Every structure is written in C-alpha cells, then in structure tokens.
Structure 1
C-alpha cells in the first residue's frame, strides 16, 4: 500500500532547491505522488526511459524521491519511486543565503526558457489546427533565429541589455493603448548554444 505523503516539505538544501527549478524534474515529482517506475513515467511523458531514469536518480540523490519497492515485468525488475511530499517550499533562509542567491536566478531563467518553449510549442500546434479549419484565413506569425558570437562576458551582458531594450521599445511603439485588437505573444530568448553529442538522449550526464 502506498505510503501517505506529507502535504509539504520545507526545502533547506541548495541541491534540492536547484533540482526543483528544473522543469522536467518538477514534473516528475508531480507524477510520482504515487509509486511508479522510470519506464512508466517515461511512457506517460513520451520520453525515453534512460532520460527519465537519469533525472529520477538525481531527485533521489537530492532526497526528493525515495524507492518504495520493485516489481517484476517480464524478465526485468523495475524499481518503484515516490516523491517525499506533495508540494515543496524553498525556505527563506536558503533563498537568502550567499551560496544559493546567485545560482537560483540563473537556473530560474533556464527553467523559464524551457517553460516558454513548451508553451510556444502547444500554442503553435493549436494555431496549426486553426489554420487547417475550412474558411480560416492565414494565421499571421513570424520567427527569427540567429547565432551571435560574443567575445567576452561584458559583451554578453551589453548585448542582452541592448537586445531587451530594443524589443521593449518596439512593443511600446505598436501596443494598442486601450488593449483593443487581437493579442499576440512575443517571446524573447538569449542562451548559450549547447554542444550536442552522439550520446545525447541515451546518457543524460550533461543534461540540463
């Protein structure tokens, strides 16, 4: 019988806090309110068992999930995992500590990037369905991707600052003052281009 979960866990370690800011790991915790194997969770998410197993192991190491048993599936023994609580709250003392204060904004921005990318994917699929409807006009949209090489940290900071300011100016110039008209989503992202390896998707040792 599954062990009843505490409603809340106060997170007091930097390792746990950083794990919670990873969108996939946060999703895994929500799906592990009941005991499940990595393969079972992977099927529900449309992910590979190797990738999900890697992230569950990381959550187990951080003390956010625990092993609750195992079961025989054909010739394999699957380990069952369960989250240690239903919700997680980062303590005020941890959020204010010098060792974590710098890391949380960085990881939070990457988590926001992943959430924005997923939201854009969902919106694009809905708009594609809309565009295929009989009598529907073309859906106005645009996308621009570019790679820029920045020589130093100072250049990176200046580029991001000027980039944000330019986009904010365009938004202010064209935004309807009375909130009339159709609403559009304008998403902006700047991030280092990751190096991809042949092992990606199999061994997630270098995953986010």
Structure 2
C-alpha cells in the first residue's frame, strides 16, 4: 500500500468522490470483506459489493486475500493507498493555466501554480513508486503573523529578493549532469479550521 496515491484518470476521480465509495476507501486502509464493511457503513452487502467493484475497476482498491467459508469464497479487499490526491490532470480540459495571466499578487494565479505543483509532483510520485526510488523534494510549511499590511508587503519583497539572490548563487546553466528543479514560494492568509471561528478575519 502506498502512503499517497495520485488519481489522474477522470473516471477514477469521479468514483472516488462518491460519498459512499470515499467512506469505503477510508475503511479499507485495513483489509476487510464486503460483509464486514456492510456492518460498518450500514448498507446491504450486495450494495457494498457493487461499490467495491467500481473501486476495484479503477485501481483504487485491490484483492488482499480470499477466504473459503463453506461453499463460498470471501474476497478481502484493501485500499491501494492510505490517502488519495486528485491531480489536475483528471480535469485537463479545464485545468488552470499559470501562463495565462502571471501576477505575483493574484490568488487565482497562486491556485494555478499550486495546481501545476500537484500535477507535477503527482507524476513524480507515481514514477518513483514504480521505480522504487524517492523524489528529491524539500518543503517548508510555517506561519508568520504580520502587524500590518505594510509589514506583509515588506516581508514579501525581502523574501523575493533573498530567493532571487540564493537561486542566482546556485543556478548553473552549464553544469554537466545537472538537474533542473522547480522552485515555488507562496504566501496566503491562514485559513481557520473547524475549531476556529474567525473566518471573516482571514480577509482583513
């Protein structure tokens, strides 16, 4: 089982977004039969089997083992991953294009760039899994509390200058055997979770 699987097929994405099937995927992090799942989700076993066949057909679950119970063979299924990410490739025809209107201060451009990040890293993860190799990545995820909009703007300007300087120091266009890496730096207001109530404050 993979830690994360990337869904690139539109039909598979549609299957995974069905609420019942999504629940079954979550349950199948641990192997289980249709009869066991039926008791957990409160559906008839035949209905669960119907959903399991759809999930299996699109490679979201797989056979873990078969058990004989009298004259019946019980199929025990498991999810192919602990979690799933739907790649923008699944919606290729309407996926956002970062090259359409580049704007460092546009939230929509940030979304387009982020979608490209999910697409590219998703493909790398899939390729690395097949090759049994790791992907060379690095991530920073943190928070900064600004006293004012002016401080935020100053921080963004200084961050851009620092990144540009650092990239210029290490970028080598002529390096034999060198590998190009994509660098994305983003900043957006913190989005409250369910335990926080100041949703409107995000936009201040």
Which TM-score applies when normalising by structure 2? 0.44
Q: TM-score, normalised by structure 1?
A: 0.43
Structure with bigger RCO (C-alpha 8 Å, 6+ apart) = 1
Q: Higher Cα Rg: structure 1 or 2?
A: 2
